[in-house]
Amino acid sequence: MPDSSALPDALAQALGAGAVLTGEAIPPRHHSDWSGAAPVRPLALVRPRSTEEVAAVLRLAHAYGVPVVPQGGLTGLAGAAVPHAGGIALSLDRMNAIESVDAAAATLTAQAGATLQAVQEAAAERGLRFGVDLGARGSCQIGGNLATNAGGNGVLQFGMMREQCLGLEVVLADGTVLPMLRPMIKNNTGYDLKQLFIGAEGTLGVITRAVLRLRPAPAAQVTALVALADFDSALALLGRLQQRFAGNVAAFELMWRDFVAASLQWQSLREPFDAPHAFAALIDVTGRDEEALRGAIEELLGEAMEAEQVQDAVIAQSRAQAAMLWKIREATAELPTNMHPPINFDVSLPMAEIGRFAERCRAAFDARWPGHIAVFFGHVGDGNLHISVDGGTVGHDEAGVERIVYDTVAAFQGSVSAEHGIGTHKMPYLGASRTPQELAAMRAIKAALDPKGIMNPGKVLD
Ligand code: ZN
């Protein structure tokens, strides 16, 4: 195998000098991602402009046997985009075109480096919407969203990224381009290969283009913030909403009091209710007519109040008020500056167990680190709970906190990652959510598609 130190020159020859950066010229933001993993400067950062250039990079990296770490918007929380010191970081930044929108078929074709927000805006321009939304929308890229099978706020209505993808173009480890861009919902022709690359976190190939499914934009959407006394009331309210507004409950985000209190403090916001409550649920419902929808939500909340399932409620009267209510939930962007550092969890549980799960975790934290700070919140309508623990208040014992959370996840038969992926952060715990047989099948697929092990090595599978 040729000497890897010659690879950056070979890449520059193939792509042009401007597309390959080395040493000090590599911007520090490419040394790590939002996971907080220790920064690593790669051998080279390559910035291809086309699928052909991505293929050229991989052909060379394959010949040299050098690791390749694909990088999107670098907003991942599991460490999948952190480069290797002796490897290539492959940024999709320059491949950011929205290539086409087919309004009649409700599909959109984009290059991997297009931001989620650019996709959302291109859909909105044609009176359509894209079904995935998350806080990092302005920075995260559609290729990364697909590679990590991102979830976020719209899952309740439309599912995760996997459900939004009709076609994919992928470059394999040896530079082979795998075009799978036929934009059809029905295509029962053997293995659905594109699904292998969605959620693989760049360990099987590089996603370069995608055909995405769009949805009709709702004519009306109403947001409400509801105060609740306990977790079971939240479940009862969700059941009521699903029954009344079947298919139109767009968000059901539950926030424990610790999260609401921290969010209000961090962002200097006013208490939304007259008194603090144990839980607050942020709800989006879509429909045809805003006034009628608001009336129907008011009526439903009135019934729930009579049944003592709801303690108080605010229904947004405008888009601006809805944005203010959402601001409470979007305090997650404040976590890195207000926790020192945050230790983040993204777990999935049988829905009815989430309340008890949270209580058990909190009790265990309290017993070991009295006075610790932790916030509980999540997309509870999807069975997805997030926990962020302030590392400074638990003696920086990240392993101790993880042990408590993941042992409790195992006891409740949950999953160690609902939507953030495995990366490096959750790799030691993958076995808690996957059987040895599943892991063996994953390894067989990895070996078949990437026999030299150059695609994002050391991520997902060890
Ligand atoms: Zn989330």
Instruction: Yes or no: say if 206 and 70 are a contact pair by the CB < 8 Å rule.
Output: yes
pLDDT at position 153 is 82
pLDDT at position 127 is 94
Low-confidence ranges of the chain (pLDDT < 70): none
Dihedral (Cα; 5, 92, 148, 102), 10-degree rounding: -150
Ligand 1 geometric centre to CA of 173 (Å): 30
Place of tokens 């499914």: 213
pLDDT at position 87 is 97
Ligand 1 geometric centre to CA of 179 (Å): 31
pLDDT at position 355 is 97
Ligand 1 geometric centre to CA of 304 (Å): 27
How far is it, in rounded angstroms, from Cα 425 to Cα 402?
10
Ligand 1 geometric centre to CA of 19 (Å): 34
pLDDT at position 183 is 82
Ligand 1 geometric centre to CA of 335 (Å): 13
Ligand 1 geometric centre to CA of 343 (Å): 14
Ligand 1 geometric centre to CA of 379 (Å): 6
Residue 341 preceded by cis peptide, ω within 30: yes
How far is it, in rounded angstroms, from Cα 353 to Cα 112?
37
Give me the long-range contacts of 3-11 (CB less than 8 A, separation at least 24). 4/43, 4/64, 4/65, 4/66, 4/86, 5/43, 6/64, 7/43, 7/44, 7/60, 7/61, 7/64, 7/66, 7/88, 8/43, 8/44, 10/60, 10/64, 11/44, 11/46, 11/57, 11/60, 11/88
Ligand 1 geometric centre to CA of 5 (Å): 40
pLDDT at position 35 is 85
Ligand 1 geometric centre to CA of 380 (Å): 10
Instruction: Yes or no: say if 206 and 61 are a contact pair by the CB < 8 Å rule.
Output: no
Phi, psi for 368 (deg, rounded to 5) = -90, -35
Ligand 1 geometric centre to CA of 252 (Å): 12
- The model's pLDDT over 272-283, given as tens digits with 9 standing for 90+, comes to 999 999 999 999
pLDDT at position 39 is 95
pLDDT at position 17 is 86
Instruction: Yes or no: say if 322 and 314 are a contact pair by the CB < 8 Å rule.
Output: no
Ligand 1 geometric centre to CA of 302 (Å): 29
Ligand 1 geometric centre to CA of 264 (Å): 19
pLDDT at position 211 is 97
* pTM of structure: 0.91
Place of tokens 């059941």: 239
Phi, psi for 311 (deg, rounded to 5) = -95, -35
